[in-house]
Amino acid sequence: MINIESVQVVFSLKHQEEWEFIDSISYEAKIAYLNKFAQERIQELQDAFATKTENSSFSDRVLIKILDNLHVNFKNIHIRVEEKLKAPYYSIGVTLQEMLIVNTNDNWVEQFIDRNKNKNIDVFKLLKISHFGLYLKCNENYFISQEGLTKDIIRSKMNEILPLNSQCASGIEYLIKPSKINL
């Protein structure tokens, strides 16, 4: 199971005067490096397919079992982008209370899958999204990404907008209002 919980991210744009263009190597050298890298990866894949052994067959079965039964759970996600360089100032954000991906049978009941025993088994995945929201606030005057703030202050300001385990952000008008979705 992959479990990611309580992610709060704030992005803000830099003034164009602060941008740095770094050309560490020329365009031609970058293309040559990428071509060499691609050729090496292609050769590795060709070698791997040519020398397939019983051990790789076992590892393939284990990998398939792991991937088939991988559950993914995201909880308490808030990502916010702030534009404070040119009026009108704005902020845009995505909030998500929970997103869960699990294996199910054809009746949508959670189940462990082993395609090594039954290769013809159908694999079903259930996606549950709980309280996903998208907001845009024009004429913003509350910026979390102010310079000089510590991580703890930024975290507490993010919690003021969207407290952990809450369904909606306070004082925000949503473009997509948080609600439950099962797919």
SS3 of residue 169 by DSSP: coil
At residue 170, the pLDDT reads 64
Per the rule left: phi > 0, alpha: psi between -120 and 50, beta: everything else, 6 is left
DSSP state of 16: G
Q: pTM of the prediction?
A: 0.65
Run means of pLDDT, 10 residues per run, the chain, 183 residues: 88 79 74 89 79 64 81 90 83 89 87 79 86 85 76 82 69 76 60
* Structural domain spans, the chain: 2-19+70-182
Are 77 and 131 in contact by the 8 Å Cβ rule? The answer is no
Backbone angles phi, psi at 106, to 5 degrees: -70, -5
At residue 100, the pLDDT reads 92
At residue 55, the pLDDT reads 53
